[in-house]
Amino acid sequence: MSATNMDMEKNELFLREMESELHDLCQPLTTLQCRLELGQMCGDEVSLMEAIEGGLMETARLFEGIEKMRGQLLRELDRIGNRAQTDEE
């Protein structure tokens, strides 16, 4: 297999992983939205506190997913950068 084909396969794999990660972020984001809407609809202090606590948990899940994606992106950028340096030599 040529280097170009391998690069294309790596790029496709990377894009598929990013799509999957973005899809996975939708679940905590949807849960966060629902918790906040429920707290707003009920309006009592207990419901609002539960919405805030649940919202903070879902926000932590979002940050974890974003950090994972950021790590993958940085690794891919590093790989591309290293390849470009090798090509220049």
Local confidence band at 30 (pLDDT 50, 70, 90 cut-offs): very high
**What is the SS3 assignment for 25?**
helix
Q: Is the pLDDT of residue 35 over 70?
A: yes
Q: Is the pLDDT of residue 73 over 70?
A: yes
Local confidence band at 89 (pLDDT 50, 70, 90 cut-offs): low
Give the predicted TM-score (pTM) of the model.
0.71
pLDDT of amino acid 48 = 92
Q: Is the pLDDT of residue 2 over 80?
A: no
Token duo for residue 16: 């598929």
Task: Outline where 1-89 has alpha helix (H).
Answer: 3-42, 45-88
Average the pLDDT over 26-52 and give the result.
92
Domain boundaries, the chain: 3-88
